[in-house]
Amino acid sequence: MGPVLEQSFQRVKEKTGDRWTVPFVFERIQQGKAGLFELYDTDHAAYVVVERVEQGEPPWMNIWILEGEGLEKASECIPLFDELAKSVGAVAWRCTGRKGWKAIGLKPIATVYKRVVI
């Protein structure tokens, strides 16, 4: 993986405050436990990292990281994510992130809370 990708992932981590680390994501991709895809058109590129999850329910695809230029076109990616989820045997896909996902028609299913132990 290169420095451009590393910087891209780090921007996502800083924006979202998620708990994963960039080396952990790279390790999951290298082990084949997550997939890395580049989405692009003639002017923009974005990166998406996905993984298939089974947690006592039908399998679903987690969109772990989506970052790059041109993300105002994210709604155009929804059919691509649907097809990708089907291709890995998932019945749905999920993501975490900022409120922008709701604006493009995704239904929020949970709120995550955190308590720092003193």
Confidence of residue 101 (pLDDT cuts 50, 70, 90): low
Q: What is the dihedral of CA 44, 31, 10, 76, to 10 degrees?
A: 30
The token pair at 106 is 């995704």
Q: What is the mean pLDDT of the chain?
A: 80
pTM: 0.74
3-103: CATH topology: Aminopeptidase (3.40.630)
Q: 64 with 37: CB under 8 angstroms?
A: no
- pLDDT tens digit string along 26-66? 999 999 989 998 877 666 677 888 898 888 778 989 887 77
Q: Is the pLDDT of residue 71 over 60?
A: no
- Spatial separation of the C-alpha atoms in residues 33 and 50, rounded to whole Å: 9
The token pair at 3 is 């420095």
